[in-house]
Amino acid sequence: MEFIKNELINAVLEKYFDTFSKTLDTADYVPVKYGKKIHKFIFKNMKRKFREVNRAYRKQKRATGGEAEEACAASPPA
């Protein structure tokens, strides 16, 4: 599961940085105050996704009695 968990974390970070880079292009015509709200919202969603990944990992680990790596490798999350 660690390997799959790391892949999920990388996907979350890639999406976060992609979204963040799109907001940088708008810095010329979007007010700073609104830009800060957008960045705060993006960061909040990224943290929520990290919690989802960790929650699924802990749930799988408890269900398999500590054998989460093998169980999740057989059936990766959707």
| Res 26 pLDDT > 70 | yes
Give the per-residue SS3 of 12-77. Answer: HHHHHHHHHHHHHCCCCCCCHHHHHHHHHHHHHHHHHHHHHHHHHHHHHHHHCCCCHHHHHHHCCC
The string of pLDDT tens digits covering residues 30-61 is: 788 888 888 898 889 889 988 988 888 888 88
Which pLDDT score, from 0 to 100, does residue 69 have? Answer: 53
Q: What is the pTM of this model?
A: 0.59
Q: Which residue has the higher pLDDT, 25 or 77?
A: 25
Tokens of 64: 């398999």
